[in-house]
Amino acid sequence: MSEWMLNDQIQDTIQGKTPLMYAIQSRDVSLVEQILQQVGAERARVLVNDKAKKDMTCLHFAAAELRLESSQKKRLLRCIIVAGGDASAKNSEGETPRDWAKSDINDVLHNLARLSSS
């Protein structure tokens, strides 16, 4: 993906989605991981917390993704959370990613906590 698209916070004018949000919705977990790795930790933190219309973040889009098998969805959620995605960020309806994918997000957070305490 073109680096200028990621660095200049390109968003579509209708839904306000970023290239990263479209990558998430494409269900290509490897592409999402590649984008986050390519931009570096500081920029990744900004990208995963950008908001589209209705204050949807990348983690909202990932949590809402029902077309991925469980292991792939957890992998997607994990890479966004590790990059700094906020599981308690509220959209304009007051809903959080955790509201939509509670067990998956809790599993990811539990595994990350366990790894960091090892």
Q: Give the 3-state secondary structure of the chain.
A: CCHHHHHCCCCCCCCCCCHHHHHHHCCCHHHHHHHHHHHCHHHHHHHHHCCCHHHCCHHHHHHHCCCCCHHHHHHHHHHHHHCCCCCCCCCCCCCCHHHHCHHHHHHHHHHHHHHHHC
Q: pTM here? A: 0.87
Domain assignment present for 117: no
User: How does the average pLDDT of the chain come out, rounded?
Assistant: 90
How many domains does the chain divide into?
Answer: 1
Domain assignment present for 7: yes
Domain assignment present for 118: no
For residue range 44-77, what is the model confidence (pLDDT) as tens digits?
999 999 999 999 999 999 999 999 999 999 999 9
The CATH number of the domain holding residue 31 is: 1.25.40.20
Enclosing domain of residue 24: 3-111
Domain assignment present for 32: yes
